[in-house]
């Protein structure tokens, strides 16, 4: 869907107008379009094709014309024009978290700041302190924002890149003469962000395969197009590299281009110790090619079993594979249910019935509806009464559904003092309770840790939601004592959530691995706000695999009766 891309452009247009102190009416109309398109669950392209764009309240002729222009040409002339009127660095500054258009305009006017570099230098020299509204706190936030963009740069979340890669692979396998085709690089390793997408093809006619690739409808710009390598920018600004190799080298190339770099360096050292040489064409003794057709034979010749891509970070996987001690990683097919879902009772888009239909189609046996609790007003948190009504509706639905069990749950807020947003009597009526922090992020490390530990001690709390609170590329984790968290989770029998929503992936891979070592169970939930987002379970499973998790480490690989038994144990402790 292009919704996100189009919404982002309107957001930029509003920002630029605001920097230039443009017409407030137009600024508002762009911002409104951003909100509407951002909340939409239908595809704008489909609506446009059906001529129904202006049926949407808040989308007038002007906005609808620009959307159609974008769909037809891949650009909006007005936006290109507007960009010419402001320095490029200023527009880039707008993507620094914690920096709005007004501040950017003010910094530009007062200090001549035109880029992130300028801003960093100005802060260092203390030039901001004299300005109106520039308290120490605000400056601190800016510095953190600058640090975030430096770390992530133009990297994109895996959840944005993965569907793009799958679509390219699907299209190329249909249209070109490809032998085998596989995404490589950080995407294949399921890293939480990717710098670019690397796709590998085994085949003979490189030139025509690459021409087909460069001609795909989603391609915006062709950077290079040759006999063995093509490189393009697709919709949304993502770079995609495609390489074509002879089929006899496909495994070697796949191994090489999957990386990670540190994994490959370690592997090369092992090859050298055995008097062998490894590169993207194969494994060699002198000039003699020993193998290269598959990854498996390469790893085998180097004295180890095949290593799943998610583990290839040189974090001990080579040592483990050499002694046959790799974990048997969890697989997508092991997942029996989604443990975190929002319905239209709070801020979700769909009915419980529609969500259940999707869950069934995904092959699940159960699912947890976990809408927000009463204090989270912006997410339309449920009152005590409406949660009771929802529980009744779920029981009623269950009596009619075949092959799907809906578990009544809640994503209950952990309040600033560590208490929970619902009383215990109500929590006791639920099957599954996720306790989450949604506010008070700035509290001290001790305080936040204490709040979470208190929530874990509640017998009805099944899991701690998105345990570090980070948002990829947007917000850092809050300060929390991970060791204490894990110890308390182990002691109380509380799971840590691996929130699979693409911007969260929290707990991340490293925390999952530490949890496993401490005997703490992980519960994977998508936090989907519409059935279309439930596919993100795949991102959660990828992250779990990067965290060395096995089936037994994850709560929702259990059957319904095992899960119930497990949850009961904590309640009876």
Strands 495-499 and 463-464: parallel
**Binding to Zn ion (CB under 5 A): which residues in 408-467?**
436
Residue 474 CB, nearest approach to ligand DGT (Å): 18
Distance, in Å, from the CA atom of 281 to the CA atom of 284, rounded to the nearest integer, reads: 9
**Burial (0-12, 13-18, 19+ Cβ within 10 Å), 538:** middle
Binds ligand DGT by CB under 6 A, chosen from 261, 285, 353, 445? 261
Residue 158 CB, nearest approach to Ca ion (Å): 11
Taking the least distance from each CB to ligand DGT, the nearer of 268 and 514 is: 268
Residue 314 binding ligand DGT, by CB under 6 A: no
Give how many residues touch ligand DGT by CB under 6 A.
14
260 contact choice in Zn ion, ligand DGT, Ca ion, none (CB below 5 to 8 Å, kind-dependent): ligand DGT
Residue 202 CB, nearest approach to ligand DGT (Å): 16
Taking the least distance from each CB to ligand DGT, the nearer of 278 and 435 is: 278
Distance, in Å, from the CA atom of 572 to the CA atom of 112, rounded to the nearest integer, reads: 64
Residue 250 binding ligand DGT, by CB under 6 A: no
Residue 183 CB, nearest approach to ligand DGT (Å): 10
257 contact choice in Ca ion, Zn ion, ligand DGT, none (CB below 5 to 8 Å, kind-dependent): ligand DGT
Taking the least distance from each CB to ligand DGT, the nearer of 157 and 185 is: 185
Distance, in Å, from the CA atom of 368 to the CA atom of 411, rounded to the nearest integer, reads: 10
Residue 372 CB, nearest approach to Zn ion (Å): 7
HEC string of 242-266 equals: EEEECHHHHHHHHHHHHCCHHHHHH
Taking the least distance from each CB to Zn ion, the nearer of 103 and 526 is: 526
Taking the least distance from each CB to Ca ion, the nearer of 185 and 540 is: 185
Map residue 43 onto helix, strand or coil.
Answer: coil
Residue 258 CB, nearest approach to ligand DGT (Å): 6
- Tally: H helices and E strands in the chain: 24, 17
Residue 73 CB, nearest approach to ligand DGT (Å): 29
- Residue with structure tokens 């690989």? 557
Within 387-431, strands assigned E span 405-413
Taking the least distance from each CB to ligand DGT, the nearer of 47 and 253 is: 253
230 contact choice in Ca ion, ligand DGT, Zn ion, none (CB below 5 to 8 Å, kind-dependent): none
Reading phi first (left if > 0) and then psi (alpha if -120 to 50, else beta), residue 542 is in alpha
Contact between residue 188 and residue 270 where contact means Cβ atoms under 8 Å apart = no
Residue 307 CB, nearest approach to ligand DGT (Å): 14
**Binding to Zn ion (CB under 5 A): which residues in 218-237?**
none
Residue 199 CB, nearest approach to ligand DGT (Å): 11
Give how many residues touch Zn ion by CB under 5 A.
1
Within 469-558, strands assigned E span 495-499, 522-525
Taking the least distance from each CB to Zn ion, the nearer of 283 and 507 is: 507
Residue 159 binding ligand DGT, by CB under 6 A: no
Tokens encoding 434: 């996720």
Map residue 194 onto helix, strand or coil.
Answer: strand
Binding site residues, Ca ion, CB under 5 A: 185-186, 196, 198, 241
Taking the least distance from each CB to Ca ion, the nearer of 186 and 373 is: 186
> What DSSP designation does 383 have?
P
**Binding to ligand DGT (CB under 6 A): which residues in 340-379?**
none
| Closest alpha carbon to 188 in 177, 176, 198, 175 | 198
User: x/- contact string, 13-52, with Zn ion (CB under 5 A)?
Assistant: ----------------------------------------
Distance, in Å, from the CA atom of 188 to the CA atom of 198, rounded to the nearest integer, reads: 9
Taking the least distance from each CB to Zn ion, the nearer of 465 and 542 is: 465
Residue 437 CB, nearest approach to Zn ion (Å): 8
Contact between residue 229 and residue 184 where contact means Cβ atoms under 8 Å apart = no
Residues pairing with 242 in the sheet:
199, 230
Taking the least distance from each CB to Ca ion, the nearer of 198 and 527 is: 198
230, containing H or E segment: strand 229-234
Taking the least distance from each CB to ligand DGT, the nearer of 198 and 371 is: 198
Residues pairing with 413 in the sheet:
436
Distance, in Å, from the CA atom of 373 to the CA atom of 413, rounded to the nearest integer, reads: 6
Taking the least distance from each CB to ligand DGT, the nearer of 94 and 156 is: 156
Tokens encoding 219: 């391609």
**Binding to ligand DGT (CB under 6 A): which residues in 186-245?**
186, 191, 194-196, 198
264 contact choice in ligand DGT, Zn ion, Ca ion, none (CB below 5 to 8 Å, kind-dependent): ligand DGT
CA atoms lying within 13 Å on the CB side of residue 524: 35
Distance, in Å, from the CA atom of 94 to the CA atom of 87, rounded to the nearest integer, reads: 12
Contact between residue 257 and residue 280 where contact means Cβ atoms under 8 Å apart = yes
Q: What are the residues whose beta carbons fall under 8 Å from the beta carbon of 293, sequence distance 6 or more? A: 247, 248, 249, 250, 251
Binds ligand DGT by CB under 6 A, chosen from 213, 257, 299, 460? 257
Distance, in Å, from the CA atom of 353 to the CA atom of 335, rounded to the nearest integer, reads: 20
* Phi, psi torsion values for 271, nearest 5 degrees: -60, -45
Q: What are the residues whose beta carbons fall under 8 Å from the beta carbon of 5, sequence distance 6 or more? A: 235, 236
Residue 165 CB, nearest approach to ligand DGT (Å): 11
436 contact choice in Ca ion, Zn ion, ligand DGT, none (CB below 5 to 8 Å, kind-dependent): Zn ion
Sole window of 61-69, 253-261, 424-432, 547-555 interacting with ligand DGT (rule: CB under 6 A)? 253-261
> What DSSP designation does 332 have?
G
Binding residues for ligand DGT, rule: CB under 6 A, are 185-186, 191, 194-196, 198, 256-257, 259-261, 264-265
- The residues binding Zn ion (CB under 5 A) are 436
């Amino acid at each position: 869907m292009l919704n996100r891309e189009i919404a982002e452009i309107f957001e930029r247009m509003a920002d630029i107008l605001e920097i230039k102190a443009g017409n407030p009416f137009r600024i508002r109309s762009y911002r409104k379009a951003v909100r509407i398109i951002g909340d939409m669950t239908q595809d704008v392209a489909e609506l446009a094709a059906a001529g129904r764009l202006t049926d949407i309240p808040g989308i007038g002729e002007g906005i609808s014309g620009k959307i159609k222009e974008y769909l037809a040409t891949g650009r909006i002339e007005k936006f290109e024009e507007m960009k010419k009127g402001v320095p490029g660095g200023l527009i880039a500054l707008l993507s620094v978290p914690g920096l709005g258009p007004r501040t950017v305009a003010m910094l530009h006017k007062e200090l001549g700041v035109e880029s992130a570099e300028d801003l960093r230098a100005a802060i260092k020299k203390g030039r901001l302190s004299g300005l109106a509204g520039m308290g120490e706190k605000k400056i601190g936030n800016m510095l953190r924002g600058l640090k975030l963009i430096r770390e992530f740069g133009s990297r994109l979340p895996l959840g944005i890149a993965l569907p793009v890669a799958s679509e390219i692979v699907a299209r190329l396998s249909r249209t070109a003469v490809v032998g085998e085709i596989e995404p490589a690089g950080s995407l294949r390793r399921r890293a939480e962000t990717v710098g670019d997408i690397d796709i590998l093809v085994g085949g003979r006619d490189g030139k025509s395969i690459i021409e087909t690739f460069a001609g795909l409808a989603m391609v915006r710009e062709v950077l290079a197009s040759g006999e063995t390598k093509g490189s393009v920018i697709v919709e949304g600004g993502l770079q995609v590299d495609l390489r074509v190799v002879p089929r006899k080298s496909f495994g070697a190339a796949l191994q090489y281009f999957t990386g990670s770099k540190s994994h490959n360096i370690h592997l090369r050292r092992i090859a050298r110790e055995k008097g062998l040489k490894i590169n993207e064409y194969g494994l060699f003794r002198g000039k003699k090619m020993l193998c290269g057709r598959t990854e498996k034979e390469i790893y085998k010749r180097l004295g180890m079993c095949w290593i799943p891509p998610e583990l290839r970070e040189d974090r001990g996987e080579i040592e483990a594979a050499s002694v046959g001690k790799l974990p048997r990683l969890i697989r997508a097919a092991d997942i029996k249910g989604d443990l975190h879902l929002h319905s239209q009772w709070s801020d979700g888009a769909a009915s419980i019935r529609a969500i259940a239909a999707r869950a069934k189609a995904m092959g699940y046996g159960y699912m947890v509806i976990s809408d927000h609790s009463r204090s989270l007003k912006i997410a339309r948190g449920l009152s005590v009464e409406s949660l009771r009504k929802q529980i009744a509706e779920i029981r009623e639905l269950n009596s009619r559904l075949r092959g799907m069990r809906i578990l009544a749950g809640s994503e209950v807020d952990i309040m600033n003092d560590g208490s929970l947003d619902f009383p215990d009597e109500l929590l006791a009526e639920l099957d599954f309770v996720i306790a989450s922090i949604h506010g008070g992020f700035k509290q001290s490390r001790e305080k936040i840790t204490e709040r979470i530990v208190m929530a874990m001690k509640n017998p009805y709390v099944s899991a701690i939601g998105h345990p570090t609170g980070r948002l990829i590329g947007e917000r850092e984790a809050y300060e929390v004592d991970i060791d204490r968290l894990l110890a308390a989770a182990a002691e109380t029998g509380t799971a840590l959530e691996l929130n699979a929503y693409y911007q969260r992936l929290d707990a991340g891979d490293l925390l999952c691995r530490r949890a496993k070592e401490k005997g703490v169970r992980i519960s994977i939930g998508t936090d989907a706000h519409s059935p279309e987002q439930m596919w993100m379970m795949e991102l959660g499973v990828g992250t779990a695999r990067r965290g060395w998790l096995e089936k037994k480490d994850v709560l929702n690989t259990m059957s319904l009766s095992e899960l119930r038994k497990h949850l009961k144990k904590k309640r009876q402790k």
